[in-house]
């Protein structure tokens, strides 16, 4: 019987296959699930202008299925880290922060425009 962690990892892989997004990091193209944040700048303080929000949030897994379809292998040779550049649909973003979920092996990249 599969453990809860194994089930969660496979569920995350299914989410990524349902909502794919390609991004480039260190000259390598990866596939991930993504959600777009608001691109509105200079919000009034009372509507959330006090805190910067990411322009784009990408969720991917640290592991992927190998070509055999059953073995999990590392997705990144070097995982994206804060201040790294990531290209999405021809637009460059800077990694503002990363969050790793150990249960699902998910990596969340919070991206901001490289010009901010």
Four-point Cα dihedral 6, 12, 15, 20, nearest 10: -130
- Residue extents of the structural domains in the chain: 4-113
* pLDDT tens per residue, range 25-51: 999 888 776 655 545 555 555 555 556
Instruction: CATH number for 4-113: choose from 2.40.128, 2.40.10, 2.60.220, 3.40.50.
Output: 2.40.10
Query: Would you state the structure tokens that stand for residue 14, as one six-digit string?
Result: 């299914």
Place of tokens 């453990």: 3
Q: What's the pTM?
A: 0.69
Q: DSSP of 73-106, one letter per residue?
A: EES-SS---TT-EEEETTEEEEEEEEEEETTTTE
Show the tokens assigned to 69. 């379809």
In this prediction, residue 87 carries a pLDDT of: 93
Using left for φ > 0, alpha for ψ between -120 and 50, and beta otherwise, residue 94 falls in beta
């Amino acid at each position: 019987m599969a453990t809860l962690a194994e089930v969660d990892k496979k569920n995350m892989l299914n989410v990524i296959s349902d909502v794919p997004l390609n991004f480039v990091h260190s000259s390598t193209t990866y596939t991930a699930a993504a959600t777009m944040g608001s691109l509105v700048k200079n919000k009034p303080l009372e509507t959330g202008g006090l805190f910067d929000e990411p322009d784009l949030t990408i969720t991917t897994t640290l592991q992927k299925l190998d070509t055999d379809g059953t073995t999990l292998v590392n997705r990144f040779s070097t995982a994206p880290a804060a201040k790294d550049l990531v290209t999405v649909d021809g637009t460059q973003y800077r990694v503002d922060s990363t969050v790793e979920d150990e249960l699902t092996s998910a990596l969340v990249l919070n991206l901001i425009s490289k010009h901010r």
